[in-house]
Amino acid sequence: MQSTAAGMRADGRPTQGEPARTTETVVRAAQIAQEFPGVGLDDDVQTAARVIARCSLPGVVVTGRDWRPRGVLSACDLLLGAMPGFVRESPSLALIYDERGADDAVRARLTRPVREILADVPVLVVDGEATAMELSAVMALARSALVLVRLADQDYGVVTVDRLLASLLAPV
């Protein structure tokens, strides 16, 4: 059978010793990264909570005074930060509060600056060339639904778990 360029036969099968050519696109972090709402390190936690709730987001980007991202604060990390430390360590201790006292205790902790919560959260950053597997590993191991993307030492955007999954499920 006659061969064509790039090691392919006229019928589309690879010539012997050549890998099959595919039309599949490799998912890279920079391709699926998007702009994302943010809050400042000095904003209160309540501001971050409002942005997350209003926009139905899995979290927010936290920026410094220079507007550069310093990390991501997931909704779960925000909730953990809104709890007293003894309740985080032993959730059954939440029962010591009456209903009104529980709400008041959480609301009081929402007045703290975001930097106090972010100090306990690892900064999740991947390179723009990171593959779907790398993104999945970072997000799953950190139990975070979003991760910062940097490309050539520049902040590029954010990848969310729903965007990652959508890109993997999209027809090729």
Q: Distance (Å, rounded) from C-alpha 39 to C-alpha 62?
A: 5
Contacts of 58 (CB under 8 A, 6+ apart): 52, 74, 75, 145, 146, 160, 161, 162
pLDDT recorded at residue 51: 95
User: Within a domain: residue 66?
Assistant: yes
Mean pLDDT value across the chain: 83
Nearest to 75, CA basis, from 56, 94, 90:
56
User: Within a domain: residue 45?
Assistant: yes
User: Within a domain: residue 19?
Assistant: no
User: Within a domain: residue 72?
Assistant: yes
In this structure, the dihedral spanned by the alpha carbons of residues 92, 93, 94 and 97, taken in order and rounded to 10 degrees, is: 140
Distance of CA 15 to the CA centre of its chain: 42
User: Within a domain: residue 93?
Assistant: yes
Contacts of 114 (CB under 8 A, 6+ apart): 39, 40, 41, 42, 43, 44, 45, 47, 48, 62, 73
User: Within a domain: residue 115?
Assistant: yes
User: Within a domain: residue 18?
Assistant: no
* 171 — pLDDT class (breaks 50, 70, 90): confident
What is the C-alpha radius of gyration for the chain, rounded to an integer number of angstroms?
22
CATH of the domain at 58: 3.10.580.10
pLDDT recorded at residue 22: 42
User: Within a domain: residue 55?
Assistant: yes
Q: Is the pLDDT of residue 49 over 90?
A: yes
Q: Distance (Å, rounded) from C-alpha 3 to C-alpha 26?
A: 27
**What are the backbone angles phi and psi of residue 138, rounded to the nearest 5°?**
-60, -45
- Residue 49 structural domain: 24-169
* 6 — pLDDT class (breaks 50, 70, 90): very low
What is the percent of the chain with per-residue pLDDT over 70, rounded to a whole number?
Answer: 85
Give yes or no for a contact between 159 and 138, defined as CB atoms under 8 angstroms apart.
no
**What total number of domains does the chain contain?**
1
